[in-house]
Amino acid sequence: MSHTYSQIYLHIVWSTKNREKLIKEEIEEDIKQIIKTKAKKYNSEVIAIGNTFDHIHVLIKISTKTVISEMIRELKGSTSYFVNNSGRGNLFWQNGYGVLSVSLPAVETVEKYVQNQKNKHLSNDTIEYLEKINL
């Protein structure tokens, strides 16, 4: 088959080491840009990124060729490397992560959830299974 059609969406969540509040406002946009750039390397498209001070959510459409664990390792590694070498703080991620498949009808709902992370956590209006980081 010369052409492949896929719609594979994942909701990925990972936290800072020991849930320390290391994701400062002044580095958020840089972290998001790095994630978007690295995702392209894996022929994947970032739909939404959201965070609080101690964890990050990414909704992404991945390629059928993407090795999920390799991509996540690079997303985490490149963001911490950048922050740790930029002189703007320290960023260390936990070893694990959470990843959930997202059905096409749920993409819009998950996208809004991811984009509104700070408000969701401030109002204590989180969805437990979308917050799973380590089981």
Domains of the chain by range and CATH?
Answer: 8-130 (3.30.70.1290)
How far apart, in Å, are the Cα atoms of 32 and each of 47, 59, 66, 118, 124? Answer: 11, 12, 20, 15, 24
pTM of the model: 0.88
Contacts for 96 with CB less than 8 Å, ≥ 6 apart: 14, 133, 134
What pLDDT was estimated at residue 135?
38
Q: Which two tokens stand for residue 116?
A: 């509104």
Other CB atoms closer than 10 Å to residue 65's CB: what's the count? 10
Span 71-126, pLDDT tens digits = 999 999 999 999 999 988 899 999 999 999 999 999 999 999 899 887 666 666 55
Q: Classify 131 as helix, strand or coil.
A: coil
